[in-house]
Amino acid sequence: MTDASARVDAWLWAVRVYKTRSLATTACRAGHVRVNGERAKAAQKVKPGDELRVRISGFDRILVVKSPISKRVGAAMAADAVDDRTPPPPPREEMPFVPIRDRGAGRPTKRERREIDRLRGRD
């Protein structure tokens, strides 16, 4: 199961970063995957110690390859194959209280829309 290297798309799928291998391949083609700072093609090989930066939902995940696996394995083994060095997300700003409209109340009037925008800080 473990070789000296594995394809980057297969590894990302095997350690459960992407749900399918085709999603991992598409992310590589779109330029969302970098291996050691360089843009990665789907067939590029990864080896232990390589650092991957994967852009998912607008945020970068920083992953280090511990063991290059190319087949989908159990969750515990997948967790052992990757070292996740992603920093914690910044704290979310507290949103000011926005009143909740009753269900079925229809669209807000112009006056209500202006009040909602003012509460959200969109003057």
pLDDT tens sequence across 55-83: 998 889 999 999 999 899 999 999 999 99
What residue ranges define each of the domains in the chain, with the CATH number in brackets?
A: 6-84 (3.10.290.10)
Cβ-based burial of 60 (10 A; exposed 0-12, middle 13-18, buried ≥19): middle
- Cα separation, 30 vs 49, in Å, equals 24
The string of pLDDT tens digits covering residues 2-61 is 458 899 999 999 999 999 999 999 999 999 999 999 999 999 999 999 999 999 988 899
Instruction: Take residue 82 and report the two structure tokens written for it.
Output: 């990757």
End-to-end CA distance of the chain: 58
- Res 2: pLDDT: 46
Give residue for tokens 């291996």.
35
How long, in residues, is the chain? 123
Does residue 88 carry a pLDDT above 60?
A: yes
Spatial contact of 8 and 45, defined as CB atoms under 8 Å apart: yes
